[in-house]
Amino acid sequence: MSNRKPLTLHRLREMHAAGKKIAMLTCYDAAFARVLDEADVDSLLVGDSLGMVLQGRPSTLAVSIEEMAYHTGCVARGNRTAWIIADMPFGSYQESAEVAMRNAALLMQQGAQMIKLEGGAWTVPIVRFLVDRGIPVCAHLGFTPQSVHALGGYRVQGRDEAAARALRCQSEELAAAGAAMLVLEMVPASLARDLTNALSIPTIGIGAGSGCSGQVLVLHDMLGVTGGEPLRFVRNFLDGSAGIAQAVRQYVTDVRDGRFPDDALHSF
Ligand code: KIV
């Protein structure tokens, strides 16, 4: 067993201030939580991607708060030191800040240490409401999977100047509202680097290039067991490795050393 101390928000801020990259992976159960924690992954994201990865659904939209609470509890029981973030699923925070608070509490009671919610300006009052009540919040901009239909499919966001400006504005508003972390999904690498440099909170990229403060991948994608066409921003770390633990360690090392993502291969 490693002798790593439990990660805290304070420690994550210190890592960010020191320029140390944050390695995050999605995780949905206790067995993988143990493996990822032992492999030194900094943060486990109980993503609503579980709707697609575990449940075989076409999108994340049908995932319920009860399912998120169940998987968060599973991950928390397998984990010892990694920082646990749980996704607020579609429909669990859009209605009002009070509803968001009630649902965030369900995830925190199962062992989440931070919750993540998707969206721009309209989420700012919700973020502030949760943060004021002691809930660490990770925001999520760029391609936001819960808006897949509104966005017209899986598309890179922020490509033109107006869209880039909107993302810049939203990221600053979310940080000012108290978001302590920001996931940037499928945005051009140069824009993600600019946003990261302009913000005082860490950005975690997925398909957003090497200029972010950390990286996240869907666990099953980086182990090559998702099926279908591999996504441009994913590398299969199990390929050529001796097993899952080694593949995950390689991911952590490559994120920390800036070898993943490779902007020439994995970015937009
Ligand atoms: O649900 C999820 O796995 C996510 C990541 C893709 C960032 O939100």
DSSP bridge pairs for 182: 139, 203
Closest by Cα among 110, 35, 37, 106 to 73: 110
Can you tell me the mean pLDDT for 120-144? Answer: 98
| Banded pLDDT at 181 (limits 50, 70, 90) | very high
| Banded pLDDT at 32 (limits 50, 70, 90) | very high
Say what the pLDDT of residue 1 is. 79
For residue 212, pLDDT beyond 90: yes
Can you tell me the mean pLDDT for 214-224? Answer: 98
Can you tell me the mean pLDDT for 226-235? Answer: 91
> Does residue 185 have an active-site annotation?
yes
Give the closest residue (by CA) to ligand 1 atom 2. 47
Q: What is the pTM of this model?
A: 0.98
Please give the structure tokens belonging to residue 164.
Answer: 């880039």
Say what the pLDDT of residue 38 is. 98
Say what the pLDDT of residue 175 is. 98
Give the closest residue (by CA) to ligand 1 atom 4. 47
Question: CATH for 9-260, among 3.30.360.10, 3.20.20.60, 1.10.10.10, 1.20.1440.230?
Answer: 3.20.20.60
Say what the pLDDT of residue 44 is. 99
Q: How far is the CA of 242 from the centre of ligand 1 (A)?
A: 26
For residue 2, pLDDT beyond 90: no
Cα distances from 4 to residues 35, 40, 88, 240, 258, in angstroms, run: 14, 8, 28, 27, 22
Delimit the domains of the chain by residue range: 9-260
Q: Which atom of ligand 1 is nearest to the CA of 185?
A: 7
Can you tell me the mean pLDDT for 39-50? Answer: 98
Say what the pLDDT of residue 230 is. 87
| Banded pLDDT at 227 (limits 50, 70, 90) | confident
Give the closest residue (by CA) to ligand 1 atom 3. 47
Closest by Cα among 22, 42, 39, 23 to 31: 39
- Whether residue 117 has its Cβ less than 6 Å from ligand 1: no
Say what the pLDDT of residue 228 is. 86
| Cα 197 off chain centre by | 19
Structural contact between residues 27 and 63, judged by C-beta atoms closer than 8 angstroms: no
For residue 237, pLDDT beyond 90: yes
Average pLDDT, the chain: 97
- Whether residue 146 has its Cβ less than 6 Å from ligand 1: no
d(CA 112, CA 6): 13
**Residue, of 103 and 227, whose pLDDT is higher:** 103
